[in-house]
């Protein structure tokens, strides 16, 4: 009786282990596919800037509530959000740091765009 119970437990553990490994492989494949798609959607320099700053262009735009890369709008929203989230007025240092990182990421994107525009003009 105990022998059969041990076999059932062993077979059950093997089935669960295989299912877990299969699910893990699928999750890793999906994660790689998402990372590849994210990398393809951005230009190489822009993707590198996202990796360096730790924040994507889209996330930075959402944080600063800007839909296009207008330097005046970015600065205006940055100033407002930085001041509102200042710890001395009851704000959150975490949110304030996210605002700073978003501004850095958008400034880097503006620099990349300016460089690419300059290179295009030099080619013509």
**What are the residue boundaries of the structural domains of the chain, listed by start?**
1-40, 42-123
pLDDT digits (tens, 9 = 90+) for 11-57: 999 999 999 999 999 988 887 777 666 555 555 666 666 666 678 88
Three-state secondary-structure class, residue 56: coil
Chain position carrying tokens 């077979």: 11
Three-state secondary-structure class, residue 25: helix
For the CA atoms of the chain, what is the radius of gyration? 24
State the CATH class of domain 42-123.
mainly alpha
Enter the pTM of the model. Answer: 0.61
């Amino acid at each position: 009786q105990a022998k059969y119970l041990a076999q059932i437990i062993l077979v059950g553990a093997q089935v669960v282990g295989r299912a877990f490994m299969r699910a893990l492989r699928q999750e890793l494949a999906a994660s790689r596919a998402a990372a590849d798609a994210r990398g393809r959607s951005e230009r190489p320099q822009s993707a590198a800037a996202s990796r360096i700053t730790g924040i994507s262009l889209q996330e930075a735009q959402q944080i600063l509530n800007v839909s296009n890369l207008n330097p005046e709008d970015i600065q205006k929203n940055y100033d407002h959000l930085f001041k509102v989230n200042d710890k001395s007025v009851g704000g959150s240092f975490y949110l304030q740091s996210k605002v700073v990182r978003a501004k850095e990421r958008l400034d880097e994107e503006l620099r990349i765009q300016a460089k690419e525009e300059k290179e295009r003009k030099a080619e013509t």
